[in-house]
Structure 1
């Protein structure tokens, strides 16, 4: 049972009236508050991560049919195949770590953002 259905079932089991239930469901179905929207820096980091994953997957697909890997295992394989050098491998790993933190809501300082942005878009 999905989360929304479990939530509604839970509300019903508490003996709420139909109008109380509708009110609770309306609150549950609302969009997140304004503060939950990603800022431009987080969106930029997401775009960098997205582009890196798409490009790594495109290149990796020439060497392996199974492209259901995340960025890090693909970069390891591409490095082992000699497609990317150690500097690119290390940079991709660091950009990946920074973008992961940002995408998952963890704080990123200005130095990390600037470095990932410069590496990711250059």
Structure 2
């Protein structure tokens, strides 16, 4: 999903009913559906994971990710971010970032608080 710079959305993932169906909501509208048959172990899950990918054909310059601004220690630096990250129905929440980035000068991720992380970067375009 491409959003204008400075946009803010509400993202929610929840189990809809006792059938085990999971839905993804953006600003209250359903944008994704995951029946339990395609997601093994969702009923007993213990983690929520988020990830992102930027694609460029081989030999092409890699495009910006997020707002195009790399994460930094200040919350208001302009980098794309997830804020107010929370889970319901659990007793312990830990936000952590695992980097799978070949060059952190063009893309990066950084945890900036217990409930917020920033991501993105300028790419090499």
User: TM-score of the superposition, structure 2-length normalised?
Assistant: 0.19
Structure exhibiting the larger radius of gyration computed from Cα positions: 1
**With CA pairs under 8 Å and 6+ residues apart, which has the higher RCO, 1 or 2?**
1
Q: Name the structure where helix makes up a greater proportion of residues.
A: 1
TM-score by length of 1: 0.19
